[in-house]
Structure 1
Amino acid sequence: MTDKLPPNLLALFAPRPALRYLPPPDHDPEDRRTNKISGIAQYLDAFKSYDDNYVPTESWLQKKDRLMLERKEAGEKLLTEGYKDYRPGEDREIRGDAFKTLFVSRLSYDTESKDLEREFGRFGPIERIRIVTNTHAAEDAPAKKKNRGYAFVVYEREKDMKELLPYSRLQRDRWYPYP
């Protein structure tokens, strides 16, 4: 079969010349000596001295449990001590009638009161709009950290707010944008 191939392809099947022998650069393989492999008995004293100074490290599960416990304790402390002096009746931000107030949640963090007024103002006159913000956020915190994502819309008439409720169930995706 190869006799029918042209000479340029036959050259591909030609044997190559033998490789030239070079002696090993360091020692002959027969004269080569490697380190003897031994057990760990010679290191046992080092392990004993290591045990004396050993301080166990915290695993990721232990860290997770510790952080969860710290958060729980901080929450309990906030409940017992943080809100001890809170009196809702004296809060300046709480105004208006509860029957005229509409709670709007799942707002975008960059929502402003004029956006809410444009959306909800077509159902009736609005007395007040309050977007709840985080009072404990740092002054230089981004707006996403300051805005809590919900608001209260107080209408002037209770009738306007009650007419809005069935409509809000039909048009839920318009006011509660979520993926």
Structure 2
Amino acid sequence: MNRRQGNQDSDGRVGTAALPPHLLRLFAPRPPLPYAKPLDRDPGKKDEPRLMPVSQYLDMCKNHDTDYVPTLSIAERKKQKLEERDRKAQEALKTGLEAWDPNKDEKVVGDPYKTLHISRLQSYECTEKDLRREFQMYGPIENVRVVKDPEGKPRGYAFIEFEREKDMKAAYKDADGIKVLGRRIVVDVERGRTVKGWRPKRLGKVP
């Protein structure tokens, strides 16, 4: 039996004693860590903080602030803000419906059955002169009005009244989608004074 065979374990594996010295050094135990004295006191002599129950103080917390109002969570504040916005929108819609009546508007003139509604205009650039130039090819025009807000800024739509109803119908069929100042417009008949119960989109869905 040679030396290698003599260092085999019972299960046939070679023991560490058969390893060369440079590998045996890897299995040598390291020296123990040096003892370091605690900075304050030894663990055995140190007073640890004691945890005490607080149930005995619960009665003192009852009715301590009767005017306390708990703060709202982020989800509750968001819900409250949405409800407030919807409420204001409903109030504005109700006020707008009560005030909107084209038959009583002094700025709304002319025959509604000879009038076109033009929308999607270049709000701050398109003028009555531009619209008259584009639509006079369909027939004589009685009146052109670009609608403006209370501050005098155009709102992006206008009304064109023709002298003859047949000219209005021709423009209604042919002019929808033409470009005015580089932007395609939408042409429709005036519905505020001709269709019962009709209302603009800004005041809700059309019945």
Aligned-residue CA RMSD (Å): 4.1
1:174 aligns with 2:192: no
Report the CA distance between 1:97 and its aligned residue. 1.6
Please tell me whether residue 100 in structure 1 is matched to residue 114 in structure 2: yes
Percent of aligned pairs with the same amino acid: 37
CA–CA separation in structure 1 for the residues paired with 2:37 and 2:162 = 98
**Structure 1: unaligned runs, 5 residues or longer:** 1-21
Which residue does the alignment assign to 1:62? 80
Unaligned residue ranges in structure 2 (runs of 5+): 1-35, 187-207
The residue correspondences of 1:119-158 to structure 2 (distance < 5 A) are 119-135=134-150, 139=151, 146-158=153-165
Instruction: Classify the secondary structure of the residue corresponding to 1:49.
Output: coil
When residues 78 and 129 of structure 1 are mapped into structure 2, their CA distance, relative to the original with a 3 A threshold, is: closer
1:63-82 pair list within 5 angstroms: 63-77=81-95, 79=97, 82=99
Residue of structure 1 in register with 2:132 after alignment: 117
**Structure 1 residue 101: deviation in Å?**
0.8
Q: Give 3-state SS (helix, strand or coil) of 1:103's partner.
A: strand
Pair 1:30–1:87, CA change in 2 (3 A): same
Measure how far apart 1:129 and its partner are: 1.3
CA distance 1:77–1:95, change in 2 (3 Å):
closer
Give the TM-score normalised by structure 2: 0.48
Indicate if the aligned counterparts of 2:138 and 2:167 stay in contact, CA closer than 8 A: yes
Bigger radius of gyration: 2
Higher normalized contact order (CA 8 Å, seq sep 6+, divided by chain length): 1
Count, aligned residues: 145
